[in-house]
Chains A and B, each alone.
Chain A
Amino acid sequence: MKKVQTILAMITVYALVIVGIDVLARGYFAIRDASRGEHQHKPDERALLPAYEGAQYDPVETWRELWVGTDVWLNYEPYTVWSRKPITGKYVNVDEAGRRVTRHNFVPDSNADQPLEIWQLGGSTTWGMGVPDAETVPSRLALLFNEFGVDTRVTNLGDTGMVSTQEVLMLLRTLQTQNPPDLVIVYDGANEPLGVAEAPELLNPHYLVNRIRDLFERRNPKPRQTPAAELWANSGLYRLGKAIRWRLGLKDAPPSPPPDFANPGGVESLATRGAGVLFDNYQFAEIFGDEFGFRPYFFFQPRPGAGDKPYDPSEQKIIADLRDDPEQNWIMRFAVALRERVQLRVSESRVPERFRDISDVFAEFPDPVYMDWVHLSHRGNRRIAEVIFETISADLCADAPTHLSTHLRGQLRAACNQTVEASEN
């Protein structure tokens, strides 16, 4: 009896010791987590790249704000799938409708004529990943048009990861509830491979299609932990064990290798299908333009490795890193194949009337502009906005839309005349 009592007492003592260590470990990690404030996170390495040289803003702070906005999961939107949650910052602002704020817009007085309304559609490069509000392509376009002398308001309808089908549906959804614009600018192409890499069997799927399918169908990609396993994984002892393993240099087994990116040999045929859908979507935008009275413009965007440019060493490293990553390599090959098909269509005049391939826009631009697989710093965005502005303003000067107000037509005429006079002088 005495022995049983001793054994039971020892069991309790050991249990109490374990609980005590766990409590201490939890306390230690709680203090350590609290001391590592949000601001002490490592800056996004992209902010330190030469693409940001000469920036009149703080790229590190811009990226930190971008991550605040990106770190939270997105809002659900019927049909277009997602939108941004509203955020307010020094450099990055998203309004209640989930739209990136455009700077340099003309703000009409109550009595004044309405400005030229432009909607710009696209992915994160339109949205303005990596730059402050004032340096997004839509903001730079607003500046250029207003400086040109035409009162202009640009709405940024771009959103992270959007592919061309999402853009068409974004256009449709916005037209359902708002007055149509005067012009629609579509600036895209680089995101087309993203969803295809995940689900090549689908037609122009959106980014993260498998993850969103799992959420919708309540599939859990990871087997659900038992409550006991979860309790263990949340314990101070577990974190202590992990910390000790890390200190001893014992790392966890590497994650399973990435998928085969479904049939690497199929890139060519997938790109052919992708180009077909891209131009179908341009067609839908043109059809809606005829119906709702706006003029659509399409710009096929550049990306590293799929567009001519004298690459800076930092950009060469980006391309080399992309080639080393199986998924990014597949995406880059798809992008190259897609561009070839676009160029073939251009050569055969099988593109919309107001389509322009600007993937070579940096062909004579040695300064670094890329910070990753597609995003541009302010320097790149300014160049993109200039090319878009030059194309559209020349078109408007040659053939102004008849539906524009007298006020806007007058402004446009004066601005165009001034340009002609300046070029003659």
Chain B
Amino acid sequence: MSREKSFAARVEMGLALVAFWVVFVLIVDVGFRAILSLTDDLGTSRAKPVEDLRFQSAPYADAPYDAEAFFAEMRAARKEAYTPYVVWRSRPFDGEFIHIDDEGNRSTYRAAPSGSGEALRIWLFGGSVIWGLGAPDSLTVSSQLARQIENTWGVDAEVRNLGEIGFVNTQEIVLLIRELQRGRRPDVVVFFDGANDAPAAELWPEVDGTHMNFTSIRDRFEKREKVQPHPALRILHRSGMWRMADAIGKRLGIQRQKPAVVPYTVPKDAAGVRRRGERAAEIWLANRRFVESLARHYGFVPFYLLQPSLEVGAKQRHPSEVSLLADEMKNEAKRVGMEGYAVMREAVRRRLARPEAEQQAVDRRTWDLSDVFADVSDPLYFDYVHVGHDGNRLIAAALADALQLHLCAARSGEIPILTPSVSDRMCGPTKNQPFSPRG
């Protein structure tokens, strides 16, 4: 009997001990939680936002606006909304320097409309350079182009900035189709590409003509993103004891290493880079057929431009740009993307170098503007592809000159988009020059 009693007592003691330790652990956990909340995780666990110091780069030394405030606003404005078919557009934004309308279009300078209904309607498509990454609304390529056309020729230019951060040429054609579906019509359409098309082809070669960040967007759609750990494990990770151990580990320099997931695949060798870069050129050149056919039907004139970048395109690099480029090209994705862009540009140049007799009309409206800064030694770039307001001004000037030369050379009948008064202002009553793009 006493043995049975003794056994029952031992069981009771054992069970009580289990409960005691559970309660003890809970109390310790609550205590750690309280300490962590008071000490901000011992000042170690919260990631500090990375400071964007690009406002200090050379192109902003004499900026006629507060570059630091502008860059802060640009960060705030960079939010995407899902948009059927084109995949994303910028969210509406109303700031001091940046205004984005409900359709995701950046605001563009326009003088008071002439009232005669004779505005030259120009749509600019491209990626972040056309969107105006690094410049306030008034100093984007679109705004400076509108101002140039107005100041130089007194022509009312209604320029629409249809650039979007990260866009590739196929995405721009989809956006063009969406704009035409809305019943809007341009006179001139400009595509300004290359620095996104080549990286997209290099990093996500599995789908021709894909947009940037294909893998991560696909994973969101297909729900392939990181699977949540088991809820019990999540409870453990949230516990005060775990967080305390984590915080102490960080203090002592002991960190858990998580393998980095790279959401792209780089080519294995130079031949791979070449193959993918050539493919980017093929898609870009072939896409012109879609635009050409739309242009004939809707009566607009399309132009296809290759853009400059710090790596691809001639420029007398400023010392600040030399060190900037060296830093930027340490990033594998950017380096491979720009190597691919060099291949793409070479392939396009081969096409454009064909004898005139073999050229099609579309080739005469395809310009390589990658060397547009060839004679410039002042610093223009604040990263490997984006330029500040001065760079935008030079691009706009080259574009305005080229448009004028082409439209005036062609006004004899090939492209009857200019009304007589616009034509006289842009081209002069007798001007009819052969076309030769600058840059």
Contacts and interface: CB of A to CB of B under 8 A. Distances in A.
Interface of A: 4-6, 8-13, 15, 73-82, 165-166, 168-169, 172-173, 175-177, 195, 202-206, 209, 212-213, 215-218, 227-228, 230-231, 234, 277, 280-281, 283-284, 287-288, 290-292
A281 B180 CA distance: 10
Contact of A288 (B20, B220, B290): B290
B171 interface: yes
Given A12-B16, A277-B181, A176 B283 contact: yes
A12 B15 contact: yes
Contacts of B434: none
Contacts of A177: 208
Nearest to B11: A9
Contact of A203 (B20, B171, B182): B182
A205 B210 CA distance: 20
Given A9-B12, A202-B84, A280 B180 contact: yes
B400 to A, nearest CB: 29
A8 to B, nearest CB: 4
Contacts of B207: 77-78
29 contacts: A4-B16, A6-B12, A8-B15, A8-B17, A8-B19, A8-B23, A9-B12, A9-B16, A12-B16, A75-B222, A77-B207, A78-B87, A79-B211, A80-B85, A165-B85, A172-B174, A176-B170, A209-B84, A212-B82, A212-B221, A213-B81, A215-B223, A217-B82, A227-B234, A230-B234, A277-B181, A284-B294, A287-B297, A288-B293
Nearest to B219: A76
B70 to A, nearest CB: 26
Given A9-B15, A288-B293, 19 more contacts: A4-B16, A8-B16, A76-B217, A79-B87, A80-B85, A172-B290, A173-B209, A176-B286, A176-B287, A195-B84, A205-B84, A212-B82, A212-B221, A215-B221, A216-B217, A231-B231, A231-B232, A280-B180, A287-B296
Which residue, A176, A206, A217, A284, has most C-beta atoms of chain B within 10 A? Answer: A176
A176 B288 CA distance: 11
B93 interface: no
A76 B84 contact: no
Contact of A206 (B13, B85, B223): B85
Given A81-B85, A215-B223, A230 B209 contact: no
A213 B82 contact: yes
Given A76-B221, A165-B181, A280-B180, A227 B232 contact: yes
A6 B16 contact: yes
A52 B137 CA distance: 62
A38 to B, nearest CB: 21
B35 interface: no
A425 to B, nearest CB: 45
A70 to B, nearest CB: 15
Interface in B1-57: 11-13, 15-20, 23
B235 A228 contact: yes
Sorted from nearest, which 10 A-B pairs have the closest CB atoms? A291-B293, A8-B19, A9-B15, A8-B16, A227-B234, A76-B221, A216-B82, A12-B15, A227-B231, A213-B82
B238 interface: yes
Contacts of B294: 284, 287
A176 B82 contact: no
Contacts of A291: 289-290, 292-293
Nearest to B229: A227
B231 A228 contact: yes
Nearest to B80: A217
A290 B293 contact: yes
B177 interface: yes
Main secondary structure of the interface of A (DSSP, over half): helix
A281 B171 CA distance: 17
Interface string B45-88: 00000000000000000000000000000000000111011111
Nearest to B289: A291
Contacts of B16: 4-6, 8-9, 12
Interface string B146-187: 000000000000000000000000110110011011100000
A83 to B, nearest CB: 11
B235 A231 contact: yes
B237 to A, nearest CB: 9
Contact of B214 (A78, A204, A234, A281): A78
B218 interface: yes
Contacts of A206: 84-85
Contacts of A209: 84
Contacts of B181: 165, 203-204, 277, 280-281
A165 B286 CA distance: 21
B368 to A, nearest CB: 22
Contacts of B177: 165, 168-169, 284
Contacts of B290: 172, 175, 288, 291
A96 B354 CA distance: 38
A221 to B, nearest CB: 13
Contacts of B287: 176
B293 A216 contact: no
Given A169-B174, A280-B180, A78 B210 contact: yes
Contacts of A288: 290, 293
A177 B181 CA distance: 24
Residue among B174, B181, B182, B297 with most chain A CB within 10 A: B181
A234 B18 contact: no
A174 to B, nearest CB: 11
B18 A12 contact: yes
Contacts of A166: 85
